Amino acid sequence: KAGVTQTPRYLIKTRGQQVTLSCSPISGHRSVSWYQQTPGQGLQFLFEYFSETQRNKGNFPGRFSGRQFSNSRSEMNVSTLELGDSALYLCASSLGQGTSGNTIYFGEGSWLTVV
Amino acid sequence: GESVGLHLPTLSVQEGDNSIINCAYSNSASDYFIWYKQESGKGPQFIIDIRSNMDKRQGQRVTVLLNKTVKHLSLQIAATQPGDSAVYFCAEPGAGSYQLTFGKGTKLSVIP
């Protein structure tokens, strides 16, 4: 069974540009979450989608957005990139149904460098 | 919201010894906790989880202990190996959600 797959693994963007990151969850998982990881702030929750609907959103500016498709694949977009957006962006998937307690699995992440 | 914190940022242990990584949480209503291992350049890897109706859960070479009275959990790694070197995070989902709150992490270094 394939794990959570994220693309691209590495990318470099210029300030002011926008970026789109992609995530394919584990087969059968309908919940997809996104996290930002930086040395200074650690792992921070961005948003979570279930059945194409955003269920939860973290405390990030509107430049950060996401969506989920009918096949549960998800994308996140960051517009007007800033240097501080340089981070490891992690996608996680889970069955997403019922009470919390479904195991949440992470992908290897997308390393974004903004120059 | 909930907060999950770690007591020690770094831990060095001799190969073959047991490791204990601690984690404190603040929300007494928390009912589920997860431990993740993150190796350099990789995403967090699920190690073991525990629900609040349990005090202890064992996996392969790992044991998680939950003390609800003092809101503390620990991850014990038996016979620590060089491959265990990584950053370990405890994480806690919000009530009824899949939003994880992570501690800052403990870096485990295994001395050969």
- Peptide bond preceding A8: is omega within 30 degrees of 0, i.e. cis? yes
Predicted local distance difference test score (pLDDT) of residue A101: 57
Residues on chain A touching B66 (C-beta within 8 angstroms): none
Predicted local distance difference test score (pLDDT) of residue A2: 78
Chain B's closest residue to A43, CA to CA, is B102
Residues on chain B touching A55 (C-beta within 8 angstroms): 97-98
Mean pLDDT by 10 residues, chain B (112 residues): 53 96 86 92 94 94 95 96 96 79 90 93
Query: CB distance from B54 to chain A under 8 Å?
Result: no
- Residue predicted with more confidence, A101 or B84: B84
Tokens, residue B69: 């009275």
Which amino acid does the sequence have at B37? K
Nearest Cα to A66, choosing from A74, B56, B60, A105?
A: A74
Q: Are strands B62-67 and A64-68 parallel, antiparallel or unpaired?
A: unpaired
Whether pLDDT at A1 is above 70: no
Paired residues of B91 in beta bridges: B34, B102
Option in B32, B99, B104 nearest A42 (CB) = B104
Rounded to whole angstroms, the Cα distance separating B38 from B22 reads 16
Which of A50, A99, A104 is most worth mutating to test chain B (most B CB atoms within 10 A of its CB)? A104
What would the pLDDT profile of A5-61 be if each residue is shown by its tens digit? 999 999 999 999 999 999 999 999 999 999 999 988 889 999 999 999 999 899 999
Whether pLDDT at A99 is above 70: no
CB atoms within 10 A of CB A100: 19
Which amino acid does the sequence have at B91? A
Rounded to whole angstroms, the Cα distance separating B40 from B51 reads 28
Whether pLDDT at A112 is above 80: yes
- Please judge whether B94 and A56 are an interchain contact, meaning their C-beta atoms are less than 8 angstroms apart: yes
Residues on chain B touching A96 (C-beta within 8 angstroms): 98
SS3 content of chain A, % helix, strand, coil (to 5): 5, 50, 45
Tokens, residue A23: 């995530």
